[in-house]
Amino acid sequence: MQKIRNIAVIAHVDHGKTTLVDGLLEQSGTYGAHEQHDERAMDSNALEKERGITILSKNTAIRYKDYKINIIDTPGHADFGGEVERVLKMVDGVLVLVDAYEGVMPQTKFVVKKMLALGKKPIVVINKIDKPSADPERVVDEMFDLFAAMDATEDQLDFPIIYAAARDGIAKLDMSHPDGNFECIFETILSQIPEPVGDKENSTQAQVFTLDYDNYVGKIGISRIFNGVIRKGDNIMLAKADGEMVKGKISKLIGFHGLNRMEIQEAEAGDIVAFAGLETVDVGDTICDSKNPMPLDPMHIEEPTLTVVFSVNDSPLAGQEGKHVTSNKLKDRLEAEMTTNVAMKLEVVGEGKFKVSGRGELQITILAENMRRENFEFGVSRPEVIVKEIEGIKCEPFEHLVIDVPEEFSGAVIEKLGKRKAEMKSMIPMGQGFQRIEFEIPARALIGFRGQFLTDTKGEGIMNHSFLEFRPYSGSVESRTYGALISMENGETLAYSLFNIQDRGVLFIGPQTKVYEGMIVGEHSRSNDLVVNPIKGKAQSNVRSSGADEAIKLIPFRDMSLERALEWIEDDELLEITPKSIRIRKKYLSENERKRYSRK
């Protein structure tokens, strides 16, 4: 009998997956007494730590009694759904986390649907029961209704329930019981999650579900062994998704324990290990016995729904802040991203232009943010949805949108979404003056909506959405209602000129900022674009008069983050991204050029 259990932790964003894995590592005694570890230890990437979100799925292993439990922590954002899909194929059971107040959210539905379709055994963890507004009983009913609506089997509907406050290391099997530790979670995993199927006597079969890179050993494939035994130094056959067979040798075999990786000599069916030595390895490839190769089915990953164009930066300030500015460097970096990120696609569309398709704006802005930190300089166009033709009908992606808003703002939000072709499906009071409203909406109608939504709800609204399906094209959708304030000169901005411009709209930049002709310096208060001069100084004269030297008071400018700027721009605008700056500009910099192209 194999003393191994493989589980994935899945949930909507911010429901506490990584914090729960922290607690499991802590309470299983995996950390040594002297070991220092950070909060949310599995979020190792710098961007993950800053934003408090998981971007890449990562695995760890803990020892409990004489069992080895492999745990995979997954992202919660819909944009990284590709990571969750392939991880679920590698495990035998799933911990489904749900917030005790928020309940079932769009991404909960998405991951539960995938899990049930693959026939995995769920354990439901109602997390954050210590919240003052928590209502665990309602959330349990919601989960049961969700499983029933998704055609769960009798076995899946009979799911065990654990109530937890992961941050405090508390868990119990019944709300009436006194608070206990995570022992009940470990025991439930051992009793409810089936042991891995597969036999170490069979021919070797292991499938790669995620990739890593090491400067010393090159590409590392992290895989689940379904059959047979893998040893360091084995000659194996790598079966690619397109049917190609590549001979190779395992130069290094790596096992997991807590946050550490250690070299091991062999691993057998049921375990999750990493290996090096195969430079051509990709996600979904199968490692087979070289004498008797039997590939597993390649993985199906859902198609991207959004596309942007990355281009070489050609602004007047190009090359002043970044190190990598050529199209060759840009192409190499994007190709490298595609090797580890299977949910994205790359296409060369012209000289120095590359079309990148992904699952959402967040996925694309994470890539752009990582690139600017690596000293790249480039331009990004407005996101567009991918339109498909299905059975002769033009179709576009639709999203399932869930918003939680204070009741007094719900009318304004419903009105704005109505103009964007959203169809309201339900409205439920959530207590404490909040309402939850669900919509089905074209994906392109959500581009640029978040900023307006936060303004309308005074920052109190929460919106979440996940991909629903492709539906017939729904016609034109209202986009940005305000024009842009465009610089007419090259130079440095002056407080005096900005003081005079700020009455015309909202500024995006402050004084002593480099600008150029065609760069956007703010949002006009009307629907048309306005050309302004932000570098004009005050004319000096030797005549003094009372009241002429009034103090210049500048209203704080709107700081445009990468996500905010990408949502704000229109089709004739670009984002210029450098390691130090994010600038918004028109595609055609001079006013004459813009007029000429607008007539076409």
User: Quick check: 501 and 515 in contact, CB under 8 A?
Assistant: no
| β-strands 514-515, 491-492 pairing | antiparallel
Say whether 129 counts as a known binding-site residue: yes
DSSP state for residue 376 in the 8-state scheme: B
Q: Hey, is 106 helix, strand or coil?
A: helix
Say whether 34 counts as a known binding-site residue: no
User: Quick check: 421 and 441 in contact, CB under 8 A?
Assistant: yes
User: Quick check: 358 and 306 in contact, CB under 8 A?
Assistant: yes
Distance CA 563, CA 221 (A): 31
Say whether 130 counts as a known binding-site residue: yes
Return the residue matching tokens 């991207």. Answer: 304
User: Quick check: 8 and 112 in contact, CB under 8 A?
Assistant: no
Say whether 19 counts as a known binding-site residue: yes
Say whether 16 counts as a known binding-site residue: yes
Distance CA 213, CA 347 (A): 23
Burial of 241 (0-12, 13-18, 19+ CB in 10 A): middle
User: Quick check: 252 and 55 in contact, CB under 8 A?
Assistant: no
Burial of 468 (0-12, 13-18, 19+ CB in 10 A): middle
Q: Which of 122, 102, 118, 126 is nearest to 20 (CA)?
A: 126
Say whether 30 counts as a known binding-site residue: no
Q: What element of type H or E holds 361? A: helix 361-373
* Tokens linked to 276: 């090096």
Number of Cβ atoms within 10 Å of the Cβ of 418: 13
Q: What element of type H or E holds 583? A: strand 582-586
Say whether 17 counts as a known binding-site residue: yes
Say whether 212 counts as a known binding-site residue: no
Q: Hey, is 453 helix, strand or coil?
A: helix
User: Which residues are documented as binding site?
Assistant: 14-19, 127-130
User: Which residues are documented as binding site for GTP?
Assistant: 14-19, 127-130
